[in-house]
Every structure is written in C-alpha cells, then in structure tokens.
Amino acid sequence: MKKVTLYSRSPRPSAATGPAHGDGTAQAAQAAGTPGAARRWRAAARRHASALWALGGALVAVGTMGTLLALRPPGQALTQDDIDKAVRSSLEKEPLPSEAAKAYEAILPSVVRVIGLMDDDDKGDDKPERRAMERSLGSGVVIIDNGTILTNLHVVWGAKKIRVRFFEGTESDATMIGAQPENDLAVLKASSLPDDLEPATMRSTADLRPGDHVIAVGNPFGIGPSVSYGVVSGLKREFRSPEGDKTLTNLIQFDAAANPGNSGGPLVTMDGQVVGIVTAILNPSEQRTFIGIGFAVPIENAAAAAGLPPF
C-alpha cells in the first residue's frame, strides 16, 4: 500500500490550481477511474468538510430564495426581512451540524483504541472484567495509511502485547517501531489493516493561538470513541508527572475534557486537522478525573518521533 502522510501548513484551504498540461476535465475523468480514487475523494471531502458544509448552506439559501420568488404575489417587493425569516425557517427544519461535529466526522476514521496487554494469556477480549481493568487502555491516531499510529509511550510501556482497534471495528496486533521518551510518544505499526484506511491530516501549530477551538477524541475509561470540545488555554506549558521523575515541555494546554484513556488521542482543530497528541491531565488530587486542564504534545514533535519530515 502506498504510504500517504497528509500535512496542512494553514487552517485555510489552499487555492485550487489548474492542470499543468492538457485537458483538466479529461484528467479528472481518468483519475476517477483509477484504483483508490474513491478513497482519495472521501479523504479530500473530510479535509475540506467546512467548505462543503458552507456550500451546502449556500445551496439551502439559494433554494429558499427560489421558493420566495415563486410564492411572492405579483408586484410585491421582496424585503430583507422576508429573506431572513425564510432562511431561519429552512435552518430550523434542516439545521447544519456544529463545527465540532464536522471536525469529529473528519478525524474519526483515523482514531484507534490502543490496548496494552499485560498478560501473555490475555486474548484481548473484555472478559473476565478483572483482566480488562488490569490492561493499559489508551488511544491513538493513524498518520500513514500503512498502519503507522501515534500514541503515548506510557500507554504501551511494559505491555506484553499491543492491540489496536480501528474505528470500524477491525482489530490487529501492533508493534512499537519508535519512541520519543522525552515527549511521552510511541510509534506503532499495525500488522493487519482495514480496507481504505485513511490517515489524519496534521497541521502546523505555528498559527495556533489561545482561544482557538479544539476537540479531543479518544477512549476515556475505554468508552469510545468519544469527543469533547473546548479551547486552547495556553502554549509552551510544562508538566511534571505525578511521580516527579519526568517533565514534559512545550505542551499545548487545553480545556476539552480528557480522562484516562484519552492518552495518545488527537487534539483536533475545527478544520479536522491534528495539532497535538493528548498526553496528560493536571490533577492535584488522588482522583484520576479531569479538572479542566489537559496537555498535548505539539504535532511537530509527534511527527518527528515517527521520522516524518517537518512542516
């Protein structure tokens, strides 16, 4: 399978460029008939989900205008108030999904559940319940369509065996092929893949700002995939592990709810692109629950752990 790693330098989609040679229509028709074209179209649709939803909203507005003009009594002028009421009525009947919902839909096919099995006899099922509690549970995100996955090192450290579950239910054994202990990152490679596996699009954090909206996607307490919504609270933060033996630096601070099991999952902007890997939550008490401060490793560090080129 061809390796594909997707990058975006900016939250704004690039302007489309015309064909360099020949008839662009003929080239598009030829591309549509090649193997894997359907997968590429689906991936492109998810990467530009916001633009597609905006186009859909525009079409709704155009349809509403057409209906108003058809129903308008002869000689009566169409006012702005008429237009506003009609658009509101259309959106109430068919509301557009939220920005967070669109971002979640875009990233979902790339999110995996990561299970670290601590017992050679554990087959990875959910019974008996005692064994399920003894496992290390976390999340991960596919970054190359050959089955390369980013997660946290602490999720898989010490595991006898690693298993991953893809979004559509396919399960596979995985091996750790790289690590970056200073950033609590691990790189996994799945041995078997679902059809049309789609990697996430990674985006530089250079223009990320406090207040930007983000979602955290993962499997908190093994329940998921789940999504939470919030904002970037700060940049270039430091976090010391509860044991005090490790300090992580240059972290993204965020307030989207994260709990044990979210570790290794993606932190995603509203355009559905990954800017970080969720790695820790600040918790001054003994209860392992979220109090409003989470941390993520910037995707630049995470991509470097997998040996990928910089943005």
**CB neighbours of residue 118 within 10 Å:** 13
- Catalytic positions, please? 154, 184, 263
Q: Which residues pair with 171 in a beta bridge?
A: 165
**CB neighbours of residue 173 within 10 Å:** 15
The CA–CA distances, whole Å, from 177 to 128, 214, 252, 286, 293 equal 30, 29, 25, 33, 30
Q: Which residues pair with 217 in a beta bridge?
A: 227
Helices then strands, each counted (H, E), the chain: 8, 14
How far apart (Å, rounded) are the C-alpha atoms in residues 257 and 281? Answer: 9
How far apart (Å, rounded) are the C-alpha atoms in residues 204 and 22? Answer: 34
Is residue 186 a contact partner of residue 159, using CB atoms and an 8 Å limit? no
How far apart (Å, rounded) are the C-alpha atoms in residues 284 and 287? Answer: 8
How far apart (Å, rounded) are the C-alpha atoms in residues 173 and 147? Answer: 11
Q: Give the tokens for residue 27.
A: 């080239």
> C-alpha angle with apex 224: 218 to 225, nearest 5 degrees?
55
The CA–CA distances, whole Å, from 287 to 25, 172, 184, 282, 284 equal 60, 32, 22, 11, 8
Q: By C-alpha distance, which of 276, 290, 289 is closest to 214? A: 276
